[in-house]
Structure 1
Amino acid sequence: MTPPDRRDQPPITADEATTLTAFLRYQRQTLEWKCAGLTPQQLATRAVPTSEVTLLGLVRHLAAVETGWLVGFGGLPYGMWPDVVRDRDEQFRVDPATVTADDVESAWVTWRAVGETVGSVARQLPLDTTDRPWGRDDEFSLRWILLHLVEEYARHNGHADLLREAVDGVTGE
């Protein structure tokens, strides 16, 4: 398994939005890499008996996290966002006995569409735009949210690495 090549990322420039979205894109590529080549059943396997977390659950969860932070942000239309699994427990509740290739494909299609939408938000709004994300009391800047999403992916990619190793022994960077 070959990790995503960091050299494919744009160089760090004065364009902070490009830099932030490039790091976010790299973290997304890492998640995709951690899940590559697995069957639907492997993606839905609870590799740690005490945890509901699965690789497929992480894909669904991260799509919901990105959406949750940015849906309606900066006055952009709600309708531009793909429909995601909103219930946190349901995001992770995946049964390897009943999961199908269509379930997996649907999760990836939604996840990719969310990533495209986040990119659209970052292209449309200045990084200093502040707003109250849906369901939150405090205001956050787009810059803060993008940094938070990079951190969220980095943390969950660590989980994905451990899950992948438990599923089939493959380890990565």
Structure 2
Amino acid sequence: MTTTERRTPAPAADERTMLEGWLDYHRHTLAHKCEGLTDAQLRTASVPPSELSLMGLVRHMAEVERHWFRRVLAGEDAGPLYYGDEDPDGEFHPTEADTWQEAYTAWQGEIAVARRTAAGFVLDDVSRGKSRFTEEPYSLRWIYTHMIEEYARHNGHADLVRERLDGATGE
């Protein structure tokens, strides 16, 4: 696995560049937290009874990217990747058959689609679809801000999971 390079956005960047830069920084941070671990370690829950694992977080963020950029922003009818009626939190329940390569590829694929989708909108444009949480449309600015918050929160979880696995700490 290669070392993930993270860059903070330029302090005087314009708003869009700043938002996209911080979102990418947090995406890279999650990838960095997963580097150098085996599939078994990536599937390992942090501290029972919690089911939270690094692979589960990556699968969750693939779902989050898919939800906000495909379903909400673009209004696509994009079904779930990992969850369903039988397991509404399925992304957090990787099995021994689930691999890092599959989870990482799905996550990176959703990030690529998110970037392409967002490129067709300006920050003040509102979404074509609706969230499952409200009928209100969302601006791209709101979605970027929410995604940064979502990654930042889960990167905090990833810090704790990684430290529990092998003692690695750091930003």
TM bucket normalised to smaller? 0.7 to 0.9
Partner of 2:154: 156
Quick one: distance in 2 between partners of 1:46 and 1:67?
24
**Which segments of 5 or more consecutive residues in structure 2 lack a partner in the other structure?**
none
Residue 37 of structure 2 aligns to a residue in which SS? coil
1:63 Cα deviation (Å)? 0.8
Q: Which amino acid aligns with 1:43?
A: L
Q: Name the counterpart of 1:56.
A: 55
1:8-157 alignment, distance < 5 Å = 9-14=9-14, 16-74=15-73, 76=74, 78=76, 84-87=81-84, 88-95=88-95, 98-99=96-97, 103-131=99-127, 132-135=129-132, 136-157=134-155
Unaligned 5+ residue runs, structure 1? none
Q: For the residues of structure 1 that align with 2:60 and 2:31, how far apart are their CA atoms? A: 14
After TM superposition, the score normalised by the length of structure 2 is 0.84
Q: Cα distance, 1:121 vs. partner?
A: 1.9
The TM-score normalised by the length of structure 1 is: 0.84
> Cα distance, 1:169 vs. partner?
0.8
How many residue pairs were aligned? Answer: 164
Q: CA deviation at 1:133?
A: 2.8
**Contact 1:27 1:153 (8 Å CA) reproduced:** yes
- How much has 1:118 moved relative to structure 2? 1.3
CA RMSD of aligned residues (A): 2.3
Partners of 2:4 and 2:67 in 1: how far apart? 28
